Copies of this chain bind each other. A is one copy, B any other.
Amino acid sequence: MFALNPHPSGRHFLQIPGPTNVPDRVLRAIDQPTIDHRGPAFGQLGLAVLAGLKHVFRTESPVLIFPASGTGAWEAALVNTLSPGDTVLMAETGHFASLWRRLAGRLGLEVDCLESDWRHPADPQAIGARLAQDTQHRIKAVCVVHNETSTGVTSDIAAVRAAIDQAGHPALLMVDTISSLGSIDYRHDEWGVDVTVAGSQKGLMLPPGLSFNAIGPRALAAAGQARLPRSYWDWREMLVANERGYFPYTPATNLLYGLHEALAMLREEGLPQVYARHRRHAHATRLAVAAWELELLCLDPAQCSPALTAVLMPGGHSADAFRQRALERFDISLGQGLGKLADRVFRIGHLGYFNDLMLCGTLAGVEMGLAAAGVPHRAGGVQAAMAFLAQTPAGQPA
């Protein structure tokens, strides 16, 4: 069997902002015999997970499951609703928004990009202004990343929706929740989102390999007119097959077992409790960063991510060298800086299947890693987080 970990003893701390630590319950559910994807037992499984997903997306609309990475769900959102040459307005809030933008370009779409310094959320006012200028409605979709995994900044989707409405613009609103779904409060229906894109390997606590599109009625209507070529990602056959719990091609059956279990776990804990837990751990993490006298990448305190925290390295110090040292010495994986943040930030994932002591171990890994790598900082970050956690019962967020 493949040897996962060169460290000889103890559990690895997987504290990148996804894939996250998969619960034993979910791994054990996946570790069951594959069944006939056209048999009656499968139909029951399919109906159960398709129904359960609606609860997590907070929608009455259909949610589709692709045997694919989140990148595939980005592509699915675009090819099902748009035609060659259509324009999409992208709020380029970080590396993943920029990847989505590039993907759109490759598919033959025009991209109108609202660039940013990657330290702020999407700007609803700027979106509204751009849409207001687009009197010919060439912009067919507004694409926003709810929680930018590369920066740790969360955008206000309800405000984006309001800006679109205020501009009286018919563009569809597409939202990437890959690193927020199941970790940060999200409401597909209430916030008027047309397509929500998500993946399995973050707040849903699964291994990577599944991705999702939640599809509002306007997006569904657009799918009838869209002319981008599509087959694997096509919503239409999927929707028909899903009615009875099946799929138009072989689904990733064993990952669906895991999804069934993960949805049960989220239900058992309760979504409000899940969100509060993430906010609490994010607050404790920021207290640690402050105690270390390091700088958060996110400049807008109100929009710091509950799922991960991106930390700027002191000038002249390599984030990657620090992360490598922490991995070698303390068996912890931290997220790297991506794109223009490469080697300048590290990211602490505190999402998914997680608790107070896992957070303390994680922050200890960062603090000792900083020491071991010779990065200037003050000690006391773990202490600061602990003081907060001890005072604040788990049910209560910051």
Of A101-109, A112-120, A156-164, A188-196, the one with at least 4 CB within 8 A of chain B = A101-109
Give A31's nearest chain B residue, CB to CB. Answer: B31
Separation of A394 and B368 alpha carbons in the complex (Å)? 12
Interface flag for A393 (CB, 8 Å): yes
A327 nearest CB neighbor, chain B only: B39
A269 to chain B, nearest CB (A): 4
Q: Is A13 an interface residue (CB 8 A)?
A: yes
Q: Are B372 and A365 in contact (CB under 8 A)?
A: no
A33 touches B9 (CB 8 A): no
- B353–A10 contact, CB under 8 A? yes
Interface string of A361-398 (1 = CB under 8 A from B): 11011011001100000011011001101110110000
B333 and A36 within 8 A (CB): yes
A92 at the interface (CB under 8 A from B): no
Is the CB–CB distance between B8 and A34 below 8 Å?
A: no
Which B residues are in CB contact (< 8 Å) with A11? 11, 21, 33, 353, 355, 358
Q: Which of B16, B230, B368 is in CB contact (< 8 Å) with A106?
A: B230
A-B contact pairs, 27 of them (CB 8 A): A1-B25, A1-B29, A1-B261, A2-B48, A2-B260, A4-B35, A11-B33, A14-B35, A19-B35, A21-B33, A21-B34, A24-B32, A30-B254, A35-B333, A37-B208, A68-B68, A68-B232, A69-B250, A75-B231, A107-B230, A107-B231, A209-B252, A331-B355, A360-B364, A364-B364, A364-B382, A371-B390
Residue of B nearest to A379 (CB): B383
Beta-carbon contact of B209 and A71 below 8 Å: no
Q: Determine whether the beta carbon of B265 is less than 8 Å from that of A8.
A: yes
CB neighbours (8 Å) of A5 from chain B are: 35, 41
**B360/A382 in contact, CB under 8 A:** yes
Contact check, A106 vs B231: say whether CB atoms are below 8 A apart.
Answer: yes
Q: Which residues of B contact A303 (CB under 8 A)?
A: none
- A357, CB-defined interface residue at 8 Å: yes
A228 touches B231 (CB 8 A): no
State the Cβ distance, A339 to closest chain B Cβ, in Å. 13
A89-108 CB contacts (< 8 Å) to partner B = 102-103, 106-108
Interface residues of A (CB under 8 A from B): 1-14, 16, 18-22, 24-25, 27-41, 45, 48, 66-72, 75, 84, 102-103, 106-108, 199, 201, 207-209, 228-232, 234, 249-255, 257, 260-261, 265, 268-269, 273-274, 277, 327, 329-333, 336, 353-358, 360-362, 364-365, 367-368, 371-372, 379-380, 382-383, 386-387, 389-391, 393-394
CB-CB under 8 A for A1 and B1, given A106-B229, A208-B34, A361-B357? yes
Are A31 and B30 touching (Cβ within 8 A)? yes
- Point out the residues of chain B lying under 8 angstroms from A2, CB to CB: 29, 45, 48, 257, 260-261
* B232 engages A75 (CB within 8 Å): yes
Contact of A67 among B34, B69, B367 (CB under 8 A): B69
By beta carbon, the residue of chain B nearest A323 is B39
In the complex, what residues of B have CB within 8 A of residue A229's CB?
84, 106-108, 228-229
Residue of B nearest to A333 (CB): B36
Q: Are A368 and B382 in contact (CB under 8 A)?
A: no
Nearest CB to that of A356 among chain B residues?
B330
